[in-house]
C-alpha cells in the first residue's frame, strides 16, 4: 500500500500533525502543485491518484489558489443525526431455495471503528471481523498497512478469549457510528431485541478512520469537537478494503456513511472519482449515504437573467465563531460578487486576473473574510469563490451576484453540513434540491436516501437531488428512520439518517453478490450491474414519476428483484 518514510523519532507523516496531506494526480509520475518538492512522500492508490505528505513548515499559508481546490483534502462527517421486511430482505433470508444471508461475501465499513466485543459481531464464538485497520493507532514496520495498525480475525478471536480484550486489540469505537453501521449491514441476529443485520452471515472488513488533522480543521474553521475525517484517509481505507477482499477471495460491498457539502456536487471530486472506479471493478460495489441536508437551509440556487442581479441573504447566528462557504457559478457564465455586512458596509470581491485571494475587512464589525476566487476551477471549469468567515458578526449578510459577460447565469451556494455550522446560520431563501452530499454525487456508486418503512414517507431531512450536472441522485431509498441499532453499552436504541440506509444497501448488495458471484449465477458481477438489478426491482408509487429528486428510482425491494429474475 505504499511506503512512508518515518520522521526522526516521530510519527508516520500520514498521522503526524507536522505534515500536510495533498491528493495529487498520478500516472506513473506525480502531478500537481507539489510535484517538484524533494521532501515529498507519497502513497499510490491507483493509476489516477496518490496521497502526498509535505512538512507544514514548507506549506506556508494554505490557500486553494496555491495548491488547487481538489488537492486539499475535504473533511467528512456522519450522515446521521421492523425494517428488513419492508425491503424484501427477510423473505430472501428465509426463502427455502434462495436462503440468502451474505455467505461468502464481505462488507467493508469505513467509519469511526467498531466495538468488536459486541455479540452482534460474533458467529458462534468467533468474530465476523476478518480484517480491522485502525488508522489512529501507532503502527510497526512489519505491518502491511502504510500507517496505523492492522488486526486479523485470529488476533481478534484471541483478544475475545481474554478477560481484557483491549490489551491485545486496543481498537475502539468512541461514538458508536461505525458500530451500528456494521451491525445494520451484517450484524448477527439478536431475537430478544428483534434485531438482525441485512446480511447476517457476511464477514466484515473494518477501517477506523483517524480524525482529521488540526491544520485542516483550522483551515475549514470547524468546531473544536467536530468528528471529521480526511478525504485522503477515506480513499486509503477503500483501497485497503479492496485489497483485503481480494486476499480473502470474496466479493465486496463497501459502505460509506460520511458526507460533505464541499465541491460543485457533480461527482468530480477525488473521492467521488475514486469510488466510481472502485464500483466498476469486478466483484465490488459502493453504497453511499445521500446526506441529511434537505431541511437544513444550507443551499441557495440562483438564476440570473441577462444584465440582471440577484441578492442572496445569509443569516449568521449569534454563536457562530467561524465557517467556510462555497459559491459555484456554472459555466459558461462568469460572475462578480459583492458582500454587504449587517451594518450596511458593502465590499466588492475582486475578480481581476481570474484568480486571486483577498481579505474583506469591515469598519463597523470585527469580522474578517478571506475570499479565494477561481474563475475556472481546473476540474469542473466552473467559477469557484471560497469564503472563510472569521469571527462573523451575527445578522443578515447580503451577497449581490451578477454575470460579467451579460449571459444568463446559474449559481449555487452551499454551507457546511450539519453539525459543522450553527443551526442558526442559514440562507433566508433556500432550496432542498441539489443537496446530495459528496461523495453521494458520484455517478456510478449506489446513493441511498432514507425513508420510514412504517408509513413509506421520505425522511424529512434527507438530501434531495439531482446533481447540478443532471445525474440522477439519489438512486434508491432504504429504511433509515427510527432504526433499531446496538449501542456501545450493550443496549439497543433507535436512530435515523441516510447512513443507515447506506448500511442497509450494503447488506442488500452483499445478498445479491452471494447469488451472483458466490453461487456463480453471474460470476463477473460488479457495482454497476448490482445497481441496475436493484433499480429494476425497486418498488414505485403510482402517484409519482420516476426517477425523481426525492426517491430516485424507488424503494429497495430485493425480493422483487429476484421475482423479476425468475
* Residue indicated by cell numbers 420510514: 452
Residue from 521, 550, 543 nearest 533 by CA: 521
Tell me the β-bridge partners of 388.
324, 370
Distance CA 336, CA 386 (A): 13
* Residue indicated by cell numbers 469510488: 275
Helical (H) or strand (E) element with 67: helix 64-67
Distance CA 279, CA 256 (A): 12
Residue 299 in contact with residue 390, Cβ under 8 Å?
A: no
Residue 376, all three cell numbers: 475556472
Residue-level pLDDT at 478: 97
Residue-level pLDDT at 9: 43
| DSSP E strands, 443-509 | 446-452, 457-458, 476-479, 483-486, 492-495
Distance CA 477, CA 484 (A): 17
Pairing of strands 129-134, 149-152: antiparallel
Task: Say which DSSP state 328 is in.
Answer: E
DSSP letters, 138-152, are ---TT-SSSSSEEEE
DSSP letters, 394-412, are SEEEEEEEEESSS--EEEE
Residue 269 in contact with residue 49, Cβ under 8 Å?
A: no
**What HEC string does 105-136 produce?**
CEEEEEECCCCCCCHHHEECCEECEEEEEECC
Q: Which domains does the chain have, with CATH numbers?
A: 1-71 (no CATH), 83-294+438-535 (3.40.50.200), 299-427 (2.60.120.1290)
Residue-level pLDDT at 87: 52
* pTM score of the predicted model: 0.93
Distance CA 478, CA 500 (A): 8
Q: pLDDT 10s per residue in the chain (566 long)?
A: 343 434 434 568 889 999 999 898 776 554 455 554 555 677 888 878 889 888 888 887 777 777 788 889 999 999 875 444 455 555 556 666 667 888 999 999 999 999 999 999 999 889 999 999 999 999 877 778 999 999 999 999 999 999 999 999 999 998 899 999 999 999 999 988 889 999 999 999 999 999 999 999 999 999 999 999 999 999 999 999 999 999 999 999 999 999 999 999 999 999 999 999 999 999 999 999 999 999 999 999 999 988 789 999 999 999 899 999 999 999 988 899 999 999 999 999 977 667 888 999 999 898 999 999 998 888 888 999 999 999 999 999 999 999 887 778 999 999 999 989 999 999 999 999 999 999 999 999 999 999 999 999 999 999 999 999 999 999 999 999 999 999 888 888 889 999 999 999 999 999 999 999 999 999 989 999 999 999 999 999 999 999 999 999 999 999 999 888 87
Distance CA 130, CA 118 (A): 15
Residue 413 backbone phi and psi in degrees, to 5? -130, 130
Distance CA 130, CA 238 (A): 15
Residue from 352, 347, 334, 476 nearest 406 by CA: 334
- The number of angstroms, rounded, from the C-alpha of 258 to the middle of its chain's C-alpha atoms is 3
Residue-level pLDDT at 436: 98
Distance CA 228, CA 419 (A): 11
Residue 241 in contact with residue 205, Cβ under 8 Å?
A: yes
Residue-level pLDDT at 84: 44
Measured in residues, the chain has a length of 566
Residue-level pLDDT at 39: 57
Buried b (16+ CB within 10 A) or exposed e, 181-216: bbbbbbbbebeeeebbbbbbbbbbbbbbbbbbbebb
Distance CA 235, CA 120 (A): 27
Residue 289 in contact with residue 259, Cβ under 8 Å?
A: yes
Residue 76, all three cell numbers: 467528512
Distance CA 447, CA 256 (A): 10
Residue-level pLDDT at 95: 60
Residue 195 backbone phi and psi in degrees, to 5? -130, 140
Amino acid at each position: 500500500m505504499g511506503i512512508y518514510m518515518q520522521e526522526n523519532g516521530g510519527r508516520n507523516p500520514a498521522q503526524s500533525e507536522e505534515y500536510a496531506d495533498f491528493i495529487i494526480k498520478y500516472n506513473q509520475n506525480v502531478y500537481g502543485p507539489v510535484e517538484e518538492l524533494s521532501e515529498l512522500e507519497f502513497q499510490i492508490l491507483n493509476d489516477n491518484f496518490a496521497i502526498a505528505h509535505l512538512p507544514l513548515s514548507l506549506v506556508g499559508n494554505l490557500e486553494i489558489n496555491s495548491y488547487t481546490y481538489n488537492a486539499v483534502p475535504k473533511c467528512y462527517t456522519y450522515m446521521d443525526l421492523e425494517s428488513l421486511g419492508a425491503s424484501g430482505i427477510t423473505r430472501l433470508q428465509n426463502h427455502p431455495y434462495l436462503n440468502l444471508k451474505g455467505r461468502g461475501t464481505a462488507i467493508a465499513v469505513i467509519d469511526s471503528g467498531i466495538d468488536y466485543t459486541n455479540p452482534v459481531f460474533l458467529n458462534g464464538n468467533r468474530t465476523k471481523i476478518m480484517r480491522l485497520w485502525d488508522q489512529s493507532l501507532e503502527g510497526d514496520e512489519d505491518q502491511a498497512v502504510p500507517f496505523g495498525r492492522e488486526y486479523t480475525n485470529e488476533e481478534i478471536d484471541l483478544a475475545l478469549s481474554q478477560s481484557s480484550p483491549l490489551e491485545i486489540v486496543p481498537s475502539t469505537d468512541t461514538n458508536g457510528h461505525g458500530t451500528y453501521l456494521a451491525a445494520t449491514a451484517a450484524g448477527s441476529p439478536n431475537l430478544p431485541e428483534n434485531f438482525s443485520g441485512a446480511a447476517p452471515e457476511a464477514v466484515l472488513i473494518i477501517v477506523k478512520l483517524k480524525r482529521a488533522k488540526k491544520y485542516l480543521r483550522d483551515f475549514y474553521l470547524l468546531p473544536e469537537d467536530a468528528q471529521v475525517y480526511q478525504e485522503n484517509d477515506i480513499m486509503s481505507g477503500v483501497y485497503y478494503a479492496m485489497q483485503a477482499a481480494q486476499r480473502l477471495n470474496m466479493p465486496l460491498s463497501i459502505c460509506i456513511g460520511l458526507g460533505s457539502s464541499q465541491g460543485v456536487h457533480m461527482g468530480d471530486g477525488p473521492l467521488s472519482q475514486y469510488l466510481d472506479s472502485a464500483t466498476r471493478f469486478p466483484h465490488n460495489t459502493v453504497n453511499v449515504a445521500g446526506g441529511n441536508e434537505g431541511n437544513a437551509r444550507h443551499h441557495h440556487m440562483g438564476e440570473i437573467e441577462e444584465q440582471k442581479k440577484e441578492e442572496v441573504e445569509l443569516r449568521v447566528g449569534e454563536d457562530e465563531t467561524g465557517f467556510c462557504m462555497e459559491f459555484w457559478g456554472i459555466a459558461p457564465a462568469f460572475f462578480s460578487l459583492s458582500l454587504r455586512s449587517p451594518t450596511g458596509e458593502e465590499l466588492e470581491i475582486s475578480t481581476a486576473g481570474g484568480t486571486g485571494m483577498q481579505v474583506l475587512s469591515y469598519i463597523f464589525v470585527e469580522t474578517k473574510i478571506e475570499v479565494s476566487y477561481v474563475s475556472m476551477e481546473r476540474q469542473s471549469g466552473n467559477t469557484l469563490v471560497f469564503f472563510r468567515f472569521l469571527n462573523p458578526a451575527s445578522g443578515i449578510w447580503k451577497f449581490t451576484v451578477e454575470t460579467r459577460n451579460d449571459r444568463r447565469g446559474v449559481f449555487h451556494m452551499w454551507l457546511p453540513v450539519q453539525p459543522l455550522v450553527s443551526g442558526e446560520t442559514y440562507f433566508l431563501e433556500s432550496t432542498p434540491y441539489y443537496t446530495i452530499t459528496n461523495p453521494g454525487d458520484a455517478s456510478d456508486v449506489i446513493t441511498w436516501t432514507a425513508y420510514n418503512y412504517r408509513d413509506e414517507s421520505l425522511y424529512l431531512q434527507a438530501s434531495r437531488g439531482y446533481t447540478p450536472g443532471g445525474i440522477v441522485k439519489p438512486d434508491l431509498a432504504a429504511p433509515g428512520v427510527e432504526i433499531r441499532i446496538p449501542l456501545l453499552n450493550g443496549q439497543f436504541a433507535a436512530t435515523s439518517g441516510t447512513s443507515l440506509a447506506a448500511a442497509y444497501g450494503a447488506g442488500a448488495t452483499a445478498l445479491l453478490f452471494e447469488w451472483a458471484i458466490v453461487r456463480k449465477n453471474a460470476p463477473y458481477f460488479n457495482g454497476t450491474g448490482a445497481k441496475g438489478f436493484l433499480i429494476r426491482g425497486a418498488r414505485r408509487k403510482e402517484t409519482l414519476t420516476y426517477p425523481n429528486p426525492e426517491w430516485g428510482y424507488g424503494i429497495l425491494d430485493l425480493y422483487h428483484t429476484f421475482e423479476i429474475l425468475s
